[in-house]
């Protein structure tokens, strides 16, 4: 709900039409919906978004990802492939601010719904287009999913150990979520431009591009030195110790010494202050030269203590350190509870449902979760009768024709 003091959310009155599917596009529009945008999710009649069938199925018949990642939206059915469906989309676009899509490039154009057509319908429209490789370039027509984005973007090559094959870098859906975030950012930027120029524009994102963008100095280092970074297991280039280390109770901690000063504090915590400062591992150059030995030493130290003891020692000496959590531990952690990072939402279809809370946290006009992902076509009447003013006879005819 909106903050009681202001009664508003930042994107109140922003009208969004979402014709995307699965994850990247829907996550983009969900970010907008959480902060007040009115998002209509258009789906194929009787079939719906593929996300409804991806993941763990709930008693509602829809999956956990659908209920979580399509929250705060309205669902209406529409077959864009039909002439009537295309005309109905154009009618909705006339009064919309944003359109989100993630079809393979050329698909909407094939249905006479490309940017060149839609900008004539509404010159102020902002159109978010997320695809595997973007709208241009020799690979633009190729299909793509998050795993491909991780691989093509350069992240998968870095994940794992040097003597083993590349592994999934945590989740195959990282590119989908990041493309969705960049898509939402693109909307906010385009809205600022719209206020200055009066013109809408396209926000064009390839799934691999956000991944490539976040890989710190990977590209500059290759260009300058010809350095091709390899897999390093849990380690990190340019800093050490900066890894995951075992504890006496069979758990793991993450320790991040990103400067000589922090390592000096860790050395004191370990009871060997002579290793830092002017000692043999006092500089990053010295530690990099003996990376394996440094990591082994820190791991041997941490293995003498329980996880809580390592965390306490590091905190006392202001060394960045955190537990390597599994999801059950996240649910039990007081920091998560204090910040309200998990929302327990009651829904008549599935009962109590736990979802990650809204990010970022705005102090005056925060976002919120009003409802979980809607049932298929739940808002058809609102969209077609109330918004577009179609008659009951026309709506019935469209249903019989399979258009809605």
User: Is the pLDDT confidence value at 62 over 50?
Assistant: yes
Average pLDDT (260-265) is 98
pLDDT at 5: 54
The residue out of 297, 323, 349 marking a domain boundary is 323
**Is 176 among the catalytic positions?**
yes
Residue 221 lies in a domain: no
Tens-place pLDDT, residues 183-200? 999 999 999 999 999 999
Average pLDDT (218-231) is 98
Query: From CA 135, how far away is CA 372, in angstroms rounded?
Result: 32
pLDDT at 128: 98
Residue 199's domain comprises: 15-214+340-401
Omega before 64 within 30 of 0, i.e. cis = no
pLDDT at 6: 72
Residue 45 lies in a domain: yes
Q: Are 66 and 49 in contact (CB under 8 A)?
A: yes
User: Is the pLDDT confidence value at 140 over 50?
Assistant: yes
Query: From CA 184, how far away is CA 37, in angstroms rounded?
Result: 11
* Active-site hit among 49, 176, 204, 295: 176
Residue 219 lies in a domain: no
Residue 97 lies in a domain: yes
Integer CA distances (angstroms), 196 to 203, 216, 267, in order: 17, 33, 55
Tens-place pLDDT, residues 375-394? 999 999 999 999 999 999 99
The residue out of 271, 290, 323 marking a domain boundary is 323
Confidence of residue 1 (pLDDT cuts 50, 70, 90): very low
Residue 64 lies in a domain: yes
Q: Are 34 and 367 in contact (CB under 8 A)?
A: yes
Are 318 and 260 part of one and the same domain?
A: yes
The residue out of 323, 356, 373 marking a domain boundary is 323
CA-atom Rg of the chain in angstroms? 25
Are 380 and 318 part of one and the same domain?
A: no
Q: Which CATH number goes with the domain that contains 31?
A: 3.40.50.10540
Are 105 and 193 part of one and the same domain?
A: yes
Tens-place pLDDT, residues 325-356? 999 999 999 999 999 999 999 999 999 999 99
Confidence of residue 7 (pLDDT cuts 50, 70, 90): confident
Residues forming beta bridges with residue 77, ordered by sequence position: 43
Are 32 and 91 part of one and the same domain?
A: yes
Are 265 and 351 part of one and the same domain?
A: no
pLDDT mean across residues, the chain: 97
Sheet containing strand 252-256, strands side by side: 242-246, 252-256, 321-323
Tokens representing 90?
A: 């154009």
- Which residue's entry shows tokens 């991944």? 211
> How far does CA 65 lie from the centroid of its chain?
13
Q: What total number of domains does the chain contain?
A: 2
């Amino acid at each position: 709900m909106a903050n009681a003091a202001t009664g508003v959310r930042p994107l109140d009155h922003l009208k969004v039409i979402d014709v995307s599917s699965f994850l990247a596009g829907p996550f983009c529009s969900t970010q907008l919906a959480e902060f007040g945008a009115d998002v209509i999710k258009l789906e194929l009649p009787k079939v719906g978004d593929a996300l409804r069938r991806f993941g763990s199925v709930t008693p509602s018949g829809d999956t956990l990802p659908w209920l979580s990642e399509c929250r705060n939206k309205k669902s209406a059915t529409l077959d864009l492939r039909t002439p009537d469906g295309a005309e109905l989309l154009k009618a909705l676009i006339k009064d919309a601010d944003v359109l989100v899509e993630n079809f393979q490039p050329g698909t909407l154009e094939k249905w006479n719904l490309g940017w060149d057509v839609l900008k004539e319908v509404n010159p102020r429209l902002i159109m978010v287009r997320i695809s595997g490789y973007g709208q241009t370039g020799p690979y633009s027509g190729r299909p793509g999913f998050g795993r491909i984005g991780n691989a093509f973007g350069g992240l998968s090559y870095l994940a794992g150990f040097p003597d083993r094959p590349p592994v999934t870098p945590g989740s195959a859906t990282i590119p989908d979520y990041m493309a969705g975030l960049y898509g939402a950012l693109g909307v906010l930027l385009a809205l600022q431009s719209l206020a200055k120029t009066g013109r809408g524009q396209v926000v064009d994102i390839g799934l691999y591009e956000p991944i490539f963008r976040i890989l710190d100095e990977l590209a500059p280092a290759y260009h300058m030195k010809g350095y091709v970074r390899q897999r390093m297991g849990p380690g990190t280039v340019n800093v050490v110790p900066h890894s995951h280390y075992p504890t006496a109770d069979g758990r793991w901690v993450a320790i991040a010494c990103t400067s000589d000063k922090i390592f000096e504090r860790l050395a004191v915590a370990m009871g060997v202050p002579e290793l830092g400062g002017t000692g043999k591992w006092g500089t990053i150059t010295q530690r990099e030269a003996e990376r394996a030995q440094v990591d082994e030493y820190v791991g041997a130290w941490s293995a003498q203590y329980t996880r809580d003891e390592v965390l306490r020692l590091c905190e006392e000496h202001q060394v960045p350190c955190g537990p390597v959590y599994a999801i059950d531990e996240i649910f039990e952690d007081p920091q998560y509870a204090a910040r309200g990072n998990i929302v327990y939402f009651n829904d008549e279809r599935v009962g109590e449902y736990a979802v990650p809370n809204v990010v970022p946290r705005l102090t005056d006009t925060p976002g919120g979760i009003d409802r979980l992902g809607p049932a298929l076509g739940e808002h058809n009447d609102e969209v077609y009768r109330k918004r577009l003013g179609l008659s009951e006879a026309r709506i019935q005819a469209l249903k019989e024709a399979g258009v809605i």
